[in-house]
Structure 1
Protein backbone atom coordinates (compact mmCIF):
# COMPACT_ATOMS: atom_id res chain seq x y z
CA UNK A 1 0.00 0.00 0.00
CA UNK A 2 2.82 2.40 0.85
CA UNK A 3 4.46 1.94 -2.56
CA UNK A 4 1.08 2.29 -4.30
CA UNK A 5 0.39 5.60 -2.53
CA UNK A 6 3.92 6.78 -3.31
CA UNK A 7 3.59 5.97 -7.01
CA UNK A 8 0.17 7.60 -7.17
CA UNK A 9 1.55 10.78 -5.58
CA UNK A 10 4.43 10.90 -8.07
CA UNK A 11 2.15 10.48 -11.08
CA UNK A 12 -0.32 13.06 -9.78
CA UNK A 13 2.42 15.59 -9.13
CA UNK A 14 3.91 14.97 -12.55
CA UNK A 15 0.63 15.86 -14.19
CA UNK A 16 0.56 19.23 -12.45
CA UNK A 17 3.89 20.32 -13.97
CA UNK A 18 3.20 19.13 -17.50
CA UNK A 19 5.17 15.86 -17.44
CA UNK A 20 4.43 12.87 -19.68
CA UNK A 21 5.39 9.21 -19.93
CA UNK A 22 6.47 7.55 -23.16
CA UNK A 23 5.06 4.18 -24.30
CA UNK A 24 6.96 0.98 -23.63
CA UNK A 25 9.45 -0.23 -26.24
CA UNK A 26 11.80 -3.21 -25.92
CA UNK A 27 15.50 -2.41 -25.56
CA UNK A 28 18.15 -5.09 -26.14
CA UNK A 29 20.21 -6.19 -23.16
CA UNK A 30 23.76 -4.79 -22.85
CA UNK A 31 26.46 -6.84 -24.54
CA UNK A 32 28.90 -6.94 -21.61
CA UNK A 33 28.46 -9.50 -18.83
CA UNK A 34 27.48 -8.13 -15.45
CA UNK A 35 29.16 -9.99 -12.60
CA UNK A 36 28.43 -7.72 -9.62
CA UNK A 37 24.77 -7.07 -8.77
CA UNK A 38 23.52 -3.53 -9.33
CA UNK A 39 20.52 -1.91 -7.63
CA UNK A 40 17.19 -2.45 -9.31
CA UNK A 41 15.24 0.43 -10.85
CA UNK A 42 11.96 -1.36 -10.10
CA UNK A 43 9.52 1.01 -8.44
CA UNK A 44 11.94 3.95 -8.62
CA UNK A 45 10.54 7.35 -9.59
CA UNK A 46 12.67 8.82 -12.36
CA UNK A 47 12.37 12.43 -13.46
CA UNK A 48 13.88 12.86 -16.93
CA UNK A 49 14.42 16.53 -17.84
CA UNK A 50 15.43 17.24 -21.40
CA UNK A 51 16.01 20.20 -23.69
CA UNK A 52 18.84 22.58 -24.48
CA UNK A 53 21.00 22.38 -27.60
CA UNK A 54 19.41 20.16 -30.26
CA UNK A 55 22.80 18.95 -31.53
CA UNK A 56 23.03 16.56 -28.58
CA UNK A 57 19.69 15.02 -29.60
CA UNK A 58 17.79 15.17 -26.31
CA UNK A 59 14.57 13.77 -27.78
CA UNK A 60 16.35 10.82 -29.41
CA UNK A 61 17.96 9.95 -26.09
CA UNK A 62 14.56 10.13 -24.40
CA UNK A 63 13.08 7.80 -27.03
CA UNK A 64 15.96 5.38 -26.53
CA UNK A 65 16.32 5.35 -22.75
CA UNK A 66 12.73 5.60 -21.52
CA UNK A 67 11.60 2.19 -22.85
CA UNK A 68 14.60 0.59 -21.13
CA UNK A 69 13.83 2.41 -17.87
CA UNK A 70 10.23 1.21 -18.01
CA UNK A 71 11.38 -2.31 -18.86
CA UNK A 72 13.47 -2.17 -15.69
CA UNK A 73 10.33 -1.28 -13.72
CA UNK A 74 10.91 2.45 -13.19
CA UNK A 75 8.14 5.03 -13.07
CA UNK A 76 9.33 7.53 -15.68
CA UNK A 77 8.14 11.10 -15.94
CA UNK A 78 9.38 13.57 -18.55
CA UNK A 79 9.76 17.32 -18.33
CA UNK A 80 10.84 19.82 -20.99
CA UNK A 81 11.21 22.53 -18.38
CA UNK A 82 13.65 23.10 -15.54
CA UNK A 83 10.74 24.53 -13.54
CA UNK A 84 10.16 20.97 -12.34
CA UNK A 85 13.13 21.51 -10.03
CA UNK A 86 11.23 24.24 -8.16
CA UNK A 87 8.36 21.94 -7.13
CA UNK A 88 9.44 20.77 -3.67
CA UNK A 89 6.71 18.17 -3.35
CA UNK A 90 7.56 16.66 -6.71
CA UNK A 91 11.29 16.68 -6.04
CA UNK A 92 10.72 15.04 -2.67
CA UNK A 93 9.02 12.10 -4.40
CA UNK A 94 11.79 11.57 -6.96
CA UNK A 95 14.44 8.86 -6.57
CA UNK A 96 16.53 9.68 -9.63
CA UNK A 97 17.01 12.59 -12.01
CA UNK A 98 18.23 12.12 -15.58
CA UNK A 99 19.10 15.37 -17.31
CA UNK A 100 20.13 16.40 -20.82
CA UNK A 101 20.15 20.21 -21.10
CA UNK A 102 23.31 21.24 -22.97
CA UNK A 103 24.34 24.92 -23.10
CA UNK A 104 21.33 26.17 -21.20
CA UNK A 105 20.61 28.60 -18.40
CA UNK A 106 19.11 27.78 -15.03
CA UNK A 107 17.52 30.27 -12.65
CA UNK A 108 18.57 30.59 -9.03
CA UNK A 109 15.29 29.04 -7.94
CA UNK A 110 15.62 26.10 -10.34
CA UNK A 111 19.23 25.46 -9.35
CA UNK A 112 18.41 25.67 -5.65
CA UNK A 113 15.62 23.12 -6.03
CA UNK A 114 17.86 20.71 -7.92
CA UNK A 115 20.79 21.01 -5.53
CA UNK A 116 18.59 20.67 -2.46
CA UNK A 117 17.04 17.48 -3.83
CA UNK A 118 20.42 15.89 -4.55
CA UNK A 119 21.80 16.97 -1.17
CA UNK A 120 18.83 15.27 0.46
CA UNK A 121 19.46 11.97 -1.32
CA UNK A 122 18.02 12.09 -4.82
CA UNK A 123 20.41 10.52 -7.33
CA UNK A 124 21.35 12.20 -10.59
CA UNK A 125 22.92 10.74 -13.73
CA UNK A 126 23.82 12.16 -17.10
CA UNK A 127 26.20 12.12 -20.01
CA UNK A 128 28.25 14.34 -22.30
CA UNK A 129 27.20 18.00 -22.41
CA UNK A 130 23.70 17.30 -21.14
CA UNK A 131 25.00 17.15 -17.57
CA UNK A 132 28.52 18.60 -17.60
CA UNK A 133 28.09 21.41 -20.10
CA UNK A 134 24.59 22.38 -19.09
CA UNK A 135 24.96 25.56 -17.03
CA UNK A 136 28.33 27.17 -17.59
CA UNK A 137 27.70 30.11 -15.26
CA UNK A 138 26.70 28.00 -12.24
CA UNK A 139 29.70 26.89 -10.22
CA UNK A 140 27.71 25.29 -7.40
CA UNK A 141 25.99 23.12 -9.99
CA UNK A 142 29.43 22.13 -11.31
CA UNK A 143 30.51 21.39 -7.73
CA UNK A 144 27.62 18.94 -7.63
CA UNK A 145 28.29 17.23 -10.97
CA UNK A 146 32.06 17.02 -10.48
CA UNK A 147 33.18 18.37 -13.83
CA UNK A 148 32.77 20.84 -16.68
CA UNK A 149 33.56 20.40 -20.38
CA UNK A 150 36.09 22.88 -21.76
CA UNK A 151 37.21 21.46 -25.15
CA UNK A 152 37.07 18.56 -27.60
CA UNK A 153 40.24 18.96 -29.70
CA UNK A 154 39.74 17.83 -33.28
CA UNK A 155 35.97 17.41 -32.96
CA UNK A 156 34.83 13.90 -33.87
CA UNK A 157 37.91 11.66 -33.78
CA UNK A 158 38.96 8.09 -33.03
CA UNK A 159 40.16 7.51 -29.47
CA UNK A 160 40.26 4.88 -26.74
CA UNK A 161 38.35 4.65 -23.48
CA UNK A 162 40.35 2.91 -20.76
CA UNK A 163 38.55 1.16 -17.91
CA UNK A 164 40.64 1.93 -14.83
CA UNK A 165 38.45 0.43 -12.11
CA UNK A 166 37.54 -3.20 -12.76
CA UNK A 167 36.12 -3.87 -9.29
CA UNK A 168 33.23 -1.43 -9.33
CA UNK A 169 29.80 -2.82 -10.19
CA UNK A 170 29.41 -0.20 -12.92
CA UNK A 171 32.51 -1.33 -14.82
CA UNK A 172 33.06 -4.97 -13.90
CA UNK A 173 33.49 -7.12 -16.99
CA UNK A 174 34.09 -4.12 -19.26
CA UNK A 175 37.31 -3.77 -21.22
CA UNK A 176 39.05 -0.85 -22.91
CA UNK A 177 37.14 0.08 -26.05
CA UNK A 178 37.44 2.40 -29.08
CA UNK A 179 35.19 5.39 -29.67
CA UNK A 180 34.58 7.59 -32.69
CA UNK A 181 33.12 10.74 -31.23
CA UNK A 182 34.14 13.89 -29.38
CA UNK A 183 36.93 13.26 -26.89
CA UNK A 184 35.98 15.46 -23.96
CA UNK A 185 38.72 17.47 -22.27
CA UNK A 186 37.26 18.37 -18.89
CA UNK A 187 37.99 20.21 -15.69
CA UNK A 188 37.29 17.56 -13.05
CA UNK A 189 36.84 17.54 -9.28
CA UNK A 190 39.77 15.51 -7.86
CA UNK A 191 37.48 13.95 -5.25
CA UNK A 192 35.52 11.68 -7.56
CA UNK A 193 35.73 7.93 -8.04
CA UNK A 194 37.08 7.58 -11.56
CA UNK A 195 35.88 4.53 -13.50
CA UNK A 196 37.25 5.22 -16.99
CA UNK A 197 39.73 7.60 -18.60
CA UNK A 198 41.07 8.62 -22.01
CA UNK A 199 44.53 9.72 -23.12
CA UNK A 200 45.00 12.64 -25.54
CA UNK A 201 47.58 12.18 -28.30
CA UNK A 202 48.29 15.86 -28.93
CA UNK A 203 47.58 15.66 -32.67
CA UNK A 204 45.38 18.74 -32.49
CA UNK A 205 46.76 20.52 -29.41
CA UNK A 206 50.39 19.41 -28.90
CA UNK A 207 50.65 20.81 -25.37
CA UNK A 208 48.18 18.22 -24.03
CA UNK A 209 49.93 15.17 -25.52
CA UNK A 210 49.77 12.32 -23.03
CA UNK A 211 47.23 14.05 -20.79
CA UNK A 212 44.77 11.65 -19.13
CA UNK A 213 41.24 12.89 -18.47
CA UNK A 214 38.40 11.01 -16.72
CA UNK A 215 35.61 9.74 -18.96
CA UNK A 216 33.26 8.32 -16.31
CA UNK A 217 32.99 8.82 -12.58
CA UNK A 218 30.88 8.45 -9.47
CA UNK A 219 30.64 10.96 -6.65
CA UNK A 220 28.32 12.23 -3.96
CA UNK A 221 26.83 15.63 -3.24
CA UNK A 222 25.41 15.65 0.25
CA UNK A 223 23.49 12.37 0.45
CA UNK A 224 22.92 12.15 -3.29
CA UNK A 225 24.72 9.90 -5.75
CA UNK A 226 26.05 11.44 -8.96
CA UNK A 227 27.06 9.47 -12.05
CA UNK A 228 28.55 10.95 -15.21
CA UNK A 229 30.00 9.71 -18.49
CA UNK A 230 31.34 12.03 -21.17
CA UNK A 231 30.34 9.59 -23.93
CA UNK A 232 27.29 10.28 -26.07
CA UNK A 233 27.69 13.31 -28.36
CA UNK A 234 24.69 11.91 -30.18
CA UNK A 235 22.71 8.70 -29.90
CA UNK A 236 24.49 6.89 -32.74
CA UNK A 237 27.92 7.66 -31.31
CA UNK A 238 26.80 5.99 -28.07
CA UNK A 239 24.93 3.00 -29.47
CA UNK A 240 27.68 2.16 -31.97
CA UNK A 241 29.72 1.02 -28.95
CA UNK A 242 27.87 -1.52 -26.78
CA UNK A 243 30.20 -1.05 -23.82
CA UNK A 244 29.48 2.69 -23.80
CA UNK A 245 25.77 1.88 -23.53
CA UNK A 246 26.42 -0.60 -20.73
CA UNK A 247 28.50 1.96 -18.84
CA UNK A 248 25.70 4.54 -18.98
CA UNK A 249 22.92 2.13 -18.03
CA UNK A 250 24.83 0.71 -15.09
CA UNK A 251 25.65 4.21 -13.87
CA UNK A 252 21.97 5.08 -13.99
CA UNK A 253 21.14 1.98 -11.93
CA UNK A 254 23.77 2.86 -9.34
CA UNK A 255 22.58 6.46 -9.00
CA UNK A 256 18.97 5.30 -8.70
CA UNK A 257 19.67 3.65 -5.33
CA UNK A 258 20.87 6.88 -3.73
CA UNK A 259 18.08 7.02 -1.16
CA UNK A 260 18.27 3.34 -0.28
CA UNK A 261 21.93 2.42 0.08
CA UNK A 262 24.73 3.87 2.22
CA UNK A 263 27.14 6.44 0.89
CA UNK A 264 30.39 4.97 -0.41
CA UNK A 265 33.39 6.42 1.43
CA UNK A 266 36.25 7.77 -0.65
CA UNK A 267 38.58 10.76 -0.56
CA UNK A 268 40.90 11.83 -3.38
CA UNK A 269 41.01 8.49 -5.22
CA UNK A 270 44.07 7.99 -7.39
CA UNK A 271 43.66 7.67 -11.16
CA UNK A 272 46.15 7.68 -14.00
Structure 2
Protein backbone atom coordinates (compact mmCIF):
# COMPACT_ATOMS: atom_id res chain seq x y z
CA UNK A 1 0.00 0.00 0.00
CA UNK A 2 1.45 3.36 -1.03
CA UNK A 3 1.65 5.96 1.74
CA UNK A 4 0.17 9.35 1.30
CA UNK A 5 2.69 12.18 1.37
CA UNK A 6 2.71 14.96 3.97
CA UNK A 7 4.99 17.97 3.68
CA UNK A 8 5.75 19.81 6.93
CA UNK A 9 7.04 23.34 6.30
CA UNK A 10 8.23 25.10 9.44
CA UNK A 11 10.22 28.14 10.47
CA UNK A 12 9.74 31.84 11.02
CA UNK A 13 9.44 33.36 14.49
CA UNK A 14 10.92 31.08 17.14
CA UNK A 15 8.35 32.18 19.74
CA UNK A 16 5.84 29.76 18.25
CA UNK A 17 8.28 26.83 18.58
CA UNK A 18 7.87 25.66 14.97
CA UNK A 19 10.07 22.57 15.42
CA UNK A 20 8.66 21.39 18.74
CA UNK A 21 5.08 22.22 17.72
CA UNK A 22 5.17 20.30 14.46
CA UNK A 23 7.01 17.44 16.14
CA UNK A 24 3.89 16.95 18.27
CA UNK A 25 1.89 16.05 15.15
CA UNK A 26 4.37 14.21 12.94
CA UNK A 27 3.88 10.88 14.80
CA UNK A 28 0.12 11.27 14.33
CA UNK A 29 0.54 11.82 10.61
CA UNK A 30 2.82 8.81 10.32
CA UNK A 31 0.37 6.65 12.26
CA UNK A 32 -2.36 7.86 9.90
CA UNK A 33 -0.50 6.53 6.87
CA UNK A 34 1.54 9.51 5.74
CA UNK A 35 5.19 9.53 4.79
CA UNK A 36 6.39 12.84 6.22
CA UNK A 37 8.94 15.17 4.64
CA UNK A 38 10.14 18.18 6.68
CA UNK A 39 11.39 21.41 5.10
CA UNK A 40 12.69 24.51 6.84
CA UNK A 41 11.79 26.95 4.06
CA UNK A 42 8.63 27.73 2.06
CA UNK A 43 10.74 27.77 -1.10
CA UNK A 44 9.96 24.06 -1.41
CA UNK A 45 6.63 25.26 -2.79
CA UNK A 46 8.44 26.21 -6.00
CA UNK A 47 9.20 22.53 -6.72
CA UNK A 48 6.26 21.48 -8.89
CA UNK A 49 7.27 17.82 -8.76
CA UNK A 50 7.32 17.70 -4.96
CA UNK A 51 4.03 19.56 -4.70
CA UNK A 52 2.30 17.31 -7.23
CA UNK A 53 3.30 14.28 -5.16
CA UNK A 54 2.11 15.84 -1.89
CA UNK A 55 -1.29 15.15 -0.36
CA UNK A 56 -1.08 17.45 2.66
CA UNK A 57 0.95 20.50 3.62
CA UNK A 58 1.23 21.22 7.34
CA UNK A 59 2.65 24.73 7.58
CA UNK A 60 4.05 26.34 10.74
CA UNK A 61 5.84 29.52 9.58
CA UNK A 62 5.03 32.68 11.52
CA UNK A 63 5.69 35.98 9.76
CA UNK A 64 8.84 35.53 7.62
CA UNK A 65 8.79 35.93 3.85
CA UNK A 66 8.26 33.69 0.85
CA UNK A 67 9.09 34.44 -2.75
CA UNK A 68 6.36 35.20 -5.25
CA UNK A 69 7.24 31.94 -6.95
CA UNK A 70 6.76 30.00 -3.71
CA UNK A 71 3.32 31.49 -3.06
CA UNK A 72 2.31 30.85 -6.66
CA UNK A 73 3.45 27.24 -6.28
CA UNK A 74 1.46 26.77 -3.10
CA UNK A 75 -1.68 28.28 -4.60
CA UNK A 76 -1.38 26.09 -7.69
CA UNK A 77 -0.85 22.99 -5.58
CA UNK A 78 -3.88 23.64 -3.36
CA UNK A 79 -6.01 24.47 -6.38
CA UNK A 80 -4.99 21.11 -7.86
CA UNK A 81 -6.01 19.19 -4.74
CA UNK A 82 -3.20 19.42 -2.17
CA UNK A 83 -4.54 19.94 1.33
CA UNK A 84 -3.20 22.78 3.50
CA UNK A 85 -3.58 23.03 7.25
CA UNK A 86 -2.10 24.60 10.34
CA UNK A 87 -2.68 26.59 13.46
CA UNK A 88 -2.22 30.02 14.97
CA UNK A 89 0.49 32.27 13.52
CA UNK A 90 2.04 29.40 11.60
CA UNK A 91 -0.70 29.71 9.00
CA UNK A 92 -2.79 32.80 9.87
CA UNK A 93 0.17 35.15 10.33
CA UNK A 94 2.51 33.99 7.57
CA UNK A 95 3.97 36.08 4.73
CA UNK A 96 2.12 39.24 5.80
CA UNK A 97 3.15 41.17 2.72
CA UNK A 98 1.74 38.71 0.19
CA UNK A 99 -1.89 39.36 -0.73
CA UNK A 100 -2.14 36.16 -2.78
CA UNK A 101 -1.26 34.09 0.28
CA UNK A 102 -3.77 35.98 2.44
CA UNK A 103 -6.49 35.32 -0.11
CA UNK A 104 -5.66 31.61 -0.16
CA UNK A 105 -5.89 31.29 3.64
CA UNK A 106 -8.94 33.51 4.08
CA UNK A 107 -7.94 35.00 7.43
CA UNK A 108 -5.13 37.19 8.70
CA UNK A 109 -4.10 37.80 12.30
CA UNK A 110 -4.66 41.44 13.20
CA UNK A 111 -3.98 41.51 16.94
CA UNK A 112 -4.43 39.68 20.22
CA UNK A 113 -5.84 42.09 22.80
CA UNK A 114 -4.00 42.29 26.09
CA UNK A 115 -4.89 42.50 29.74
CA UNK A 116 -5.58 45.81 31.40
CA UNK A 117 -2.46 48.01 31.21
CA UNK A 118 -2.13 47.98 35.01
CA UNK A 119 -1.81 44.17 34.88
CA UNK A 120 0.78 44.00 32.11
CA UNK A 121 4.36 43.06 32.97
CA UNK A 122 5.97 43.25 29.53
CA UNK A 123 6.16 39.55 28.67
CA UNK A 124 4.03 37.28 26.48
CA UNK A 125 1.63 36.55 29.31
CA UNK A 126 0.26 40.08 28.93
CA UNK A 127 -1.74 38.66 26.01
CA UNK A 128 -2.98 35.51 27.74
CA UNK A 129 -6.70 36.00 28.30
CA UNK A 130 -9.42 33.56 29.33
CA UNK A 131 -11.86 33.14 26.46
CA UNK A 132 -14.36 30.72 24.99
CA UNK A 133 -14.13 28.88 21.68
CA UNK A 134 -17.79 28.64 20.63
CA UNK A 135 -18.99 26.13 18.06
CA UNK A 136 -21.17 27.35 15.24
CA UNK A 137 -24.17 25.43 13.93
CA UNK A 138 -21.92 24.06 11.17
CA UNK A 139 -19.27 23.20 13.75
CA UNK A 140 -21.66 20.98 15.68
CA UNK A 141 -22.13 18.87 12.54
CA UNK A 142 -18.75 19.03 10.77
CA UNK A 143 -16.48 16.00 11.02
CA UNK A 144 -13.62 18.15 12.36
CA UNK A 145 -15.54 19.44 15.39
CA UNK A 146 -18.50 17.07 15.81
CA UNK A 147 -18.95 16.02 19.43
CA UNK A 148 -16.81 18.87 20.78
CA UNK A 149 -18.69 21.51 22.70
CA UNK A 150 -17.68 25.05 23.53
CA UNK A 151 -14.46 25.11 25.53
CA UNK A 152 -12.31 27.54 27.48
CA UNK A 153 -8.70 28.51 26.91
CA UNK A 154 -6.33 30.97 28.52
CA UNK A 155 -3.93 32.03 25.81
CA UNK A 156 -3.72 34.51 22.95
CA UNK A 157 -7.16 35.29 21.57
CA UNK A 158 -6.77 36.02 17.87
CA UNK A 159 -8.61 38.91 16.23
CA UNK A 160 -8.80 37.79 12.60
CA UNK A 161 -9.53 39.74 9.42
CA UNK A 162 -11.50 37.36 7.20
CA UNK A 163 -13.94 36.91 4.32
CA UNK A 164 -17.14 35.05 3.53
CA UNK A 165 -15.56 32.19 1.60
CA UNK A 166 -14.63 30.58 4.91
CA UNK A 167 -16.83 27.88 6.44
CA UNK A 168 -16.56 28.83 10.10
CA UNK A 169 -16.70 25.96 12.58
CA UNK A 170 -16.02 27.97 15.74
CA UNK A 171 -15.77 31.60 16.78
CA UNK A 172 -14.50 33.65 19.68
CA UNK A 173 -15.75 37.04 20.84
CA UNK A 174 -13.58 39.91 22.03
CA UNK A 175 -15.42 41.90 24.71
CA UNK A 176 -15.35 45.64 25.11
CA UNK A 177 -13.07 46.99 27.81
CA UNK A 178 -12.58 50.57 29.05
CA UNK A 179 -8.94 50.49 27.94
CA UNK A 180 -9.69 49.36 24.35
CA UNK A 181 -10.77 51.69 21.53
CA UNK A 182 -13.53 49.49 20.02
CA UNK A 183 -17.10 50.08 21.09
CA UNK A 184 -18.86 46.74 20.74
CA UNK A 185 -17.93 43.05 21.06
CA UNK A 186 -16.09 41.68 18.02
CA UNK A 187 -16.55 38.08 16.91
CA UNK A 188 -13.70 36.43 15.00
CA UNK A 189 -13.49 32.97 13.44
CA UNK A 190 -11.44 30.62 15.62
CA UNK A 191 -11.61 27.52 13.42
CA UNK A 192 -12.47 27.46 9.75
CA UNK A 193 -12.23 25.53 6.53
CA UNK A 194 -11.99 26.84 2.99
CA UNK A 195 -12.35 25.22 -0.41
CA UNK A 196 -9.86 26.39 -3.04
CA UNK A 197 -10.15 24.76 -6.43
CA UNK A 198 -9.89 21.02 -5.82
CA UNK A 199 -8.07 21.60 -2.52
CA UNK A 200 -9.04 22.11 1.10
CA UNK A 201 -7.67 24.55 3.66
CA UNK A 202 -7.99 24.12 7.44
CA UNK A 203 -7.08 26.76 10.03
CA UNK A 204 -7.27 26.72 13.84
CA UNK A 205 -6.26 29.92 15.61
CA UNK A 206 -5.43 28.38 19.03
CA UNK A 207 -1.87 27.09 19.22
CA UNK A 208 0.42 29.81 20.56
CA UNK A 209 2.31 27.46 22.87
CA UNK A 210 2.88 23.75 23.30
CA UNK A 211 0.50 23.46 26.25
CA UNK A 212 -2.32 24.86 24.10
CA UNK A 213 -1.51 22.41 21.31
CA UNK A 214 -1.68 19.59 23.87
CA UNK A 215 -5.12 20.68 25.09
CA UNK A 216 -7.35 17.68 24.29
CA UNK A 217 -9.94 19.74 22.38
CA UNK A 218 -7.34 21.66 20.39
CA UNK A 219 -5.32 18.58 19.59
CA UNK A 220 -8.37 16.61 18.46
CA UNK A 221 -9.52 19.46 16.23
CA UNK A 222 -6.09 19.86 14.63
CA UNK A 223 -5.66 16.14 14.04
CA UNK A 224 -9.10 15.86 12.48
CA UNK A 225 -8.55 19.05 10.50
CA UNK A 226 -5.32 17.81 8.96
CA UNK A 227 -6.95 14.56 7.90
CA UNK A 228 -9.94 16.44 6.48
CA UNK A 229 -7.71 18.78 4.48
CA UNK A 230 -5.55 16.05 2.92
CA UNK A 231 -6.07 15.39 -0.76
CA UNK A 232 -9.23 13.45 -1.42
CA UNK A 233 -9.36 10.52 -3.80
CA UNK A 234 -11.51 12.54 -6.22
CA UNK A 235 -9.15 15.51 -6.34
CA UNK A 236 -6.88 15.80 -9.36
CA UNK A 237 -3.18 15.29 -8.68
CA UNK A 238 -2.14 17.12 -11.85
CA UNK A 239 -0.14 20.30 -11.48
CA UNK A 240 0.58 22.34 -14.58
Q: TM-score, length-normalised on structure 1?
A: 0.78
> Hey, what does 1:214 align to over in structure 2?
189
Could you tell which deviates more after superposition, 179-188 or 60-69?
A: 60-69
Residue by residue over 1:149-206, the C-alpha shift from the partner in whole angstroms, topping out at 9 and shown as x without a partner, is: 0000011111110011211111110000000110000101112110000111123525
The two structures, once aligned, show a CA RMSD in angstroms of: 1.6
Deviations 1:70-94 (A, max 9, x none): 1112111100122211111111100
1:96 aligns with 2:56: yes
The match for 1:259 among 203, 207, 232 is 232
Report the equivalent of 1:130: 90
The structure 1 residue matched to 2:129, chosen from 143, 157, 181, is 157
Corresponding residue for 2:168? 194
Q: Does 1:68 align with 2:28?
A: yes
Residue 224 of structure 1 corresponds to which residue in structure 2? 199
3-state secondary structure, aligned to 1:166: helix
The alignment covers a number of residue pairs equal to 221
- CA–CA distance in structure 2, aligned partners of residues 63 and 179 of structure 1: 22
Larger relative strand fraction? 2
Partner of 2:221: 247
Structure 2 residue corresponding to 1:148, chosen from 95, 98, 108: 108
Task: Tell me, yes or no, if the aligned pair for 1:152 and 1:184 is still in contact at 8 Å.
Answer: yes
Gaps of at least 5 residues in structure 1 are 5-42, 263-272
Q: Which shifted more, 178-187 or 208-217?
A: 208-217
| Distance in 1 separating the partners of 2:184 and 2:18 | 32
- Structure 1: distance between partners of 2:102 and 2:196: 11
CA distance, structure 1, for counterparts of residue 29 and residue 102 of structure 2:
26
Q: Which runs of 5+ in 2 are unaligned?
A: 115-126, 236-240
Normalising by the residue count of structure 2, what TM-score does the alignment of the two structures yield? Answer: 0.88
SS, match of residue 207 in structure 1: coil
Correspondent of 2:208 among 233, 241, 249: 233
In the alignment, which of 14, 29, 43 is matched to residue 54 of structure 1? 14
